[in-house]
Amino acid sequence: MTAPVATAAPAGASTPRVRRRIPHKGAIVAFIAPFVVLFVLFYLVPIGYAVWKSLLVVERDGTFGQAREVFGGLAQYALVFQNTAFWTSVGRVLLFGVVQVPVMLGLALLFALLLDSPLLRGKRFFRLAFFVPYAVPGVIAAIMWGFLYSPNLSPFPAVTANVDLLSADLVLWSIANVVTWVFVGYNMLIIYSTLLAIPQEIYEAARIDGAGQARIAWSIKIPLVRPALVLTGVLSIIGTLQLLAEPQTFRSFSSAVTSTFTPNMTIYATSSIPNVSLAAAFSVVLALATFVLSFTFLRLSRRGVQS
């Protein structure tokens, strides 16, 4: 009996792909399904509804006729680009972000470096102390700082009597102080977590070469936490354009904060008229602007890292 002779595949012939069977398909679907359902119901559906609402206009039969919504195309978006108050509020929060975001991230980086330094004692206490303000809700923090800023209520009357922190010129930066106080600890925690992931061997090699703590922080730690800084920068840009709770609360303390002080306040005021379609158009434009700014910042940051 002769053994079968194996024949070689002809040249150029492709080997047939063997499709691997995915095990536990049912379990995978069961684990993913809750997220997909919630994502569709509470994210995609509201976005689609807002886009659809922004394409509608209200018509009436006569002056006092019954109102009805009809398809109006881009009519609401034309009103958005003609609305001076909305674009003034966008410019205001952009100015807010240009100043507040670098200051906040700089403090967060400084605190994270201090916590990671072997020279600091009582790290648990300082880590908790830096993070505790983030546990305070934004509205409560705004009320607390509003009382501190008010000349008649502040425990520091010598300061508030001479410097009106709630005036039209300073109220934006008073709000910036509240936002910085609340979110420095949150961003610090992200940066500090990245510092903890750096291998200790890198630090040991630097010390052998004679580098001190300041040199290690500048030449090793800061470059290695740049991805965390980019992440916190993107989150801060998104949060800046969505600013609402703090300025809305400050309306009780300062007449300089109007109903159109920020883009989200403009949207809220417009929907309360009510003009839901125009408010939806405002929301869509603001979301697109947030996406463009965040994506641009991310691309520029990646180019900086690669260079």
Tell me, what's the pLDDT at 210? 87
- What is the Cα–Cα distance from 307 to 303, expressed in whole angstroms? 6
Q: Are 75 and 54 in contact (CB under 8 A)?
A: no
Cα separation values, 196 from 30, 113, 131, 226, Å: 35, 10, 17, 14
The amino acid at residue 6 is A
Tell me, what's the pLDDT at 44? 93
Least confidently predicted of 51-55, 61-65, 279-283: 61-65
**Is the preceding omega at residue 274 within 30 degrees of 0, hence cis?**
yes
Tell me, what's the pLDDT at 18? 59
Kind plus residue range of the DSSP H or E element containing 59: strand 56-60
Q: Are 248 and 210 in contact (CB under 8 A)?
A: no
Q: Per-residue pLDDT tens for 221-234?
A: 999 999 999 999 99
The β-bridge partners of 236 are none
Instruction: Tell whether the model's pLDDT for residue 135 goes beyond 60.
Output: yes
Q: Where are the beta strands (DSSP E) in the chain?
A: 56-60, 67-71
Tell me, what's the pLDDT at 16? 60
Annotate 151-178 with DSSP letters as a single string.
Answer: TTT-S-HHHHTTS-TTSTTTHHHHHHHH
- What is the Cα–Cα distance from 86 to 91, expressed in whole angstroms? 9
- What is the Cα–Cα distance from 85 to 259, expressed in whole angstroms? 10
- What is the Cα–Cα distance from 244 to 267, expressed in whole angstroms? 10
The β-bridge partners of 58 are 69
Phi-psi domain of 284 (left: phi exceeds 0; alpha: psi -120 through 50; beta: other): alpha
- What is the Cα–Cα distance from 279 to 76, expressed in whole angstroms? 9
Angle between helices 84-116 and 263-271 (to 10 degrees): 130
Instruction: Tell whether the model's pLDDT for residue 211 goes beyond 80.
Output: yes
The amino acid at residue 106 is G
The residue among 152 and 289 whose pLDDT is bigger is: 289
Q: Per-residue pLDDT tens for 107-128?
A: 999 999 999 988 888 888 998 9
Q: Are 117 and 214 in contact (CB under 8 A)?
A: no
* Mean of pLDDT values over 263-279: 92
* Mean of pLDDT values over 47-74: 84
Tell me, what's the pLDDT at 58? 83
pLDDT band at residue 264 using 50, 70 and 90 as cut-offs: very high
pLDDT band at residue 27 using 50, 70 and 90 as cut-offs: confident
Share of the chain above pLDDT 70, in %: 91
Instruction: Tell whether the model's pLDDT for residue 17 goes beyond 80.
Output: no
Tell me, what's the pLDDT at 12? 55
* Mean of pLDDT values over 125-151: 92
Tell me, what's the pLDDT at 1? 47
Rg of the Cα trace of the chain?
A: 28
Burial tier of 257 (Cβ tally within 10 Å: 0-12, 13-18, 19+): buried
* Mean of pLDDT values over 168-187: 95
Closest to 142 measured CA to CA, from 115, 178, 186: 178
pLDDT band at residue 303 using 50, 70 and 90 as cut-offs: confident
**Average pLDDT over the chain, rounded to whole?**
88
